């Protein structure tokens, strides 16, 4: 996989079949052929849940 060109400004690029935003719990869920790109690092998974709260900022990825 060749990552797309993204500005290195701290923003994360998420590509997936479906992306859902849970504003009440500050979570982003991406499902289906998930590709995430951040600061030159990439992740591929079937499902990713990203907890945006400061105390829970570790992405959780699952792959079949």
- Residue 53 is predicted with a pLDDT of 80
> At 10, phi and psi to the nearest 5?
85, 0
- Note if the pTM is more than 0.95: no
For the segment 48-59, what is each residue's pLDDT rounded down to a tens digit? 998 888 765 555
- Residue 10 is predicted with a pLDDT of 78
Q: Where are the domains of the chain?
A: 13-62
- Residue 46 is predicted with a pLDDT of 94
pLDDT band for position 3 (cuts 50, 70, 90): low
For the segment 6-31, what is each residue's pLDDT rounded down to a tens digit? 556 778 899 999 999 999 988 999 99
> HSE on the CB side for 44, CA within 13 Å?
5
């Amino acid at each position: 996989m060749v990552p797309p060109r993204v500005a290195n400004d701290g923003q994360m690029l998420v590509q997936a079949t479906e992306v859902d935003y849970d504003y009440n719990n500050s979570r982003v869920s991406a499902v289906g052929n998930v590709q995430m790109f951040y600061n030159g690092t990439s992740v591929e998974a079937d499902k990713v849940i990203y907890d945006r709260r400061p105390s829970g900022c570790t992405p959780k990825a699952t792959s079949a």
